[in-house]
Amino acid sequence: MSQAHSMHLAANRKRLIKDRLAKYGVTLGGIFVLAALLLIFFYLLYVILPLFKGAQMSRLASWPLTGAKTLALGVDEQNTLGYRLTADGQLQYFAVKGPTAGKETEHFALSGPVTSFAASLPVQQSYALASGGGEVWVVKASFNVRYSDNTRTISGQPRYPLGPAPISVVPNGQHITALAFEYNNQGAVILASSNTGQLWLTRLDAKENFLTGQKQWQQARHEINTQGKHFTMLRVNPNLRQFYAFTAHQLAVFDIGDPAHGHITQVLQLSNASDPVTAVSFLSGANSILTGTAQGKISQWFEVVGQPKRHFAHIRDFTLGQPVAAISSEFNRKGFVASGSGGKLAMFYATSDRLLLQQKLPQHATEMAYSPRANGLLLCDGKTLQFYKVANAHPEVSWKALWEKVWYEGYKAPDYVWQSSSAADDFESKLSLAPLAFGTLKAAFYAMLFATPLALAGAIYTAYFMSPGMRRFIKPTVEIMEALPTVILGFLAGLWLAPLIEENLPGIVALVLVLPLTMLAMAALWHKLPHSVRDRVPEGWHALILVPPLVLMGYLAMAMSPLMEQWFFGGDTRLYVTHVLGINFDQRNALVVGIAMGFAVIPTIFTIAEDAVFSVPKHLTQGSLALGATRWQTLTRVILLTASPGIFSAVMMGLGRAVGETMIVLMATGNTPVMSWNIFEGMRTLSANIAVEMAESEVGSSHYRVLFLAAFVLFVFTFLFNTVAEFIRQRLRERYRAL
């Protein structure tokens, strides 16, 4: 007895040790899971947070100015060398940072004293100069980079893109009072207002000698009818088909597609009489015009599609708070810096409608120039030159750009747009997450709409009505569907199911109607049969009787599809849907995704729901039946209520699976980021977008970080779904625990 007692105590000690090890192991595993989730959360935040940092600007050098008034400034790409174009026709190159900051490196005399001056787009770094007569020199301030013995040397050199000879732009005897010009590889346009009040347009067309490769410029001069208006500022569009003439309060848009017949196409009221325009600039690409006024308002205008033709529209405003003295735009992005007459300096980004930086300067800047990479800024306040280092990595991202409608250049109205890349150099990234989040919810909605009724109905029937013998076969068969790789489902959906649905759309619609009606008809027929016939079918095997009629009616519906298409839709269902009903139709659409992703979600919902229903204590079922309730009443009023926490968990697990699904959505849709509930259109989901674009994104870029933000949004989605699901599940358990 003593030995048995000792063995019993030893067994208890071993069991206690195992229990404690299991307890600690489960606890440690849970801690590791939570730690992993927290690490993912904070790593995503670490990558995302730089998106929302404002710009920073720090002064690297400052030196006093000598000589004539500054007309233009510029910096090379490496922020090593700057230049200054002065009113006496001199081009000075100098170092912009380091111990030699401000020291002149090269000096060129371009012309005599400059009486009229015009600048091209910042990316061109070219200028037109007039020296008292009717002739103009066009000069480009260029930089030469040489490498010798692993040493980089940068020097300045003026170039003459339209030739070294001056260009006569007004008739003899007149002199120039205002200038504007632009050029490209095919030609150039120079606008000149003369002392007589006339406006002259000089068009130069390039003819390249195919033997020598040299360009020869053919020149033609035309007088522009100004309709009696006196313009204070002129700007030429780089497309050389339009120019813009400004008065104190208005903008006149001229069409010069035919230079000999240039005419006004639109007159815009820029401001009221008490708020004159004081500064004008183009944004990068010259599609947008920025106008600054004496009351400190900066407005953006660009052309939009309208009736009956394209026209300029007022898009958005920015507030400087002081009279605008100067505006300078970035080379390749839609950012700009504005200087106020009270010394205020502010950086903005047009598309994201974002104020990035405000800074007070001792004197207001009269001239400003970004470096080509927008990481440096050269300022002139009339007395000193100052060079600032600029850190402004992600100005295009803001809450508005991510989640609200934005009016992009070339669009007829504000919209939600995801378009991260393009072949055009002046392309502006459009990084709205709204269509991606919408696409995620749309795909999940249609998948759950297909999967939830089938999975829950199948789970309830299998657990409650089906015979044990059939259940032992059906349940593992459905569960093994979860082992199907989603890439295979996506492959089949994209290459087989999508064309099948497109070619047999009437048959697919007929299936939705025919199959439920067939089941109802078979149920009615079953109840009409004699008991002697019905009793021959063992309890729980009735579902097998439905299989042949369903297969037959499904086959007939698909076989009749061509005839229904001919009878009801004129022989082409897709054409009828798009042209008669006005509904867009894509071959790979939400219907295909709903069916394919539904098959992926069904096993998850079925398994959890079936276990929940089957696990309802038998004494509850038997007690209900013993009290006279029917099997249906027992199901609806006892079993489903008791199993509701598990059923709800099943649905939420399926929803979580649908929200995070990647490969099926990637392969079964056109991956078009549109916001439409149309079942015949596709979508792009957050997960699919990450899978498609992460490999192409530059590490550390705005695109790269926004993709991580998309992952963070997906993480938050699933976290919220699971949290709400657990909360509701606990409430359901407490409510129906007494059953």
CATH number at residue 173: 2.130.10.10
Clarify whether residues 25 and 131 are in a common domain.
no
Average pLDDT of the chain is 88
Cα separation, 397 vs 394, whole angstroms: 6
Classify 248 as helix, strand or coil.
coil
Clarify whether residues 237 and 353 are in a common domain.
yes
Cα separation, 202 vs 353, whole angstroms: 37
Backbone angles phi, psi at 661, to 5 degrees: -65, 140
Q: What is the pLDDT of residues 334-365, one digit of tens each?
A: 999 999 998 899 999 999 999 999 999 888 88
Clarify whether residues 387 and 439 are in a common domain.
no
Clarify whether residues 65 and 47 are in a common domain.
no
Give residue 101's identity as a one-letter amino acid code: A
Backbone angles phi, psi at 670, to 5 degrees: -80, 0
Structure tokens at 149: 């013995």
Instruction: Report the Cα 455 to chain-centroid distance in Å.
Output: 36
In a domain? residue 422: no
Looking at 351, 385, 403, which one is the last position of a domain? 403
Looking at 17, 36, 52, which one is the last position of a domain? 52
Q: What is the pLDDT of residues 367-412, one digit of tens each?
A: 999 999 999 999 998 889 999 999 999 999 999 999 999 999 988 8
Q: What's the domain range around 498?
A: 434-703
Clarify whether residues 444 and 315 are in a common domain.
no
Q: How many separate domains does the chain show?
A: 3
Cβ neighbours of residue 28 closer than 8 Å, sequence gap 6 or more: none
Classify 674 as helix, strand or coil.
coil
Backbone angles phi, psi at 434, to 5 degrees: -60, -50
As a 3-state breakdown, the chain gives helix, strand, coil percent values, each rounded to 5, of: 40, 25, 30
Clarify whether residues 449 and 335 are in a common domain.
no
User: pLDDT at residue 734 above 80?
Assistant: no
Cα separation, 686 vs 694, whole angstroms: 12
In a domain? residue 419: no
In a domain? residue 469: yes
**Count of alpha carbons within 13 Å of 418, Cβ hemisphere only?**
26
Clarify whether residues 358 and 497 are in a common domain.
no
CB 241 within 8 A of CB 264: no
Clarify whether residues 376 and 460 are in a common domain.
no
Looking at residue 446, which CATH number applies to its domain? 1.10.3720
Structure tokens at 670: 């056109």
How high is the pLDDT of residue 248?
86
Cα separation, 392 vs 383, whole angstroms: 27
Written as one string, the DSSP assignment of 36-94 is HHHHHHHHHHHHHGGGG---EEEEEEEEE--SSPEEEEEE-TTSSEEEEEETTSEEEEE
In a domain? residue 695: yes
Clarify whether residues 395 and 486 are in a common domain.
no
Clarify whether residues 124 and 243 are in a common domain.
yes
Q: What is the pLDDT of residues 635-644, one digit of tens each?
A: 888 888 888 8
Clarify whether residues 200 and 61 are in a common domain.
yes
In a domain? residue 421: no
User: pLDDT at residue 546 above 60?
Assistant: yes
Clarify whether residues 61 and 187 are in a common domain.
yes
Least confident range from 90-104, 211-225, 350-364: namely 211-225
User: pLDDT at residue 232 above 80?
Assistant: yes
In a domain? residue 325: yes
Classify 147 as helix, strand or coil.
strand
Structure tokens at 721: 């779904």
In a domain? residue 375: yes
In a domain? residue 556: yes
Looking at 403, 426, 451, which one is the last position of a domain? 403
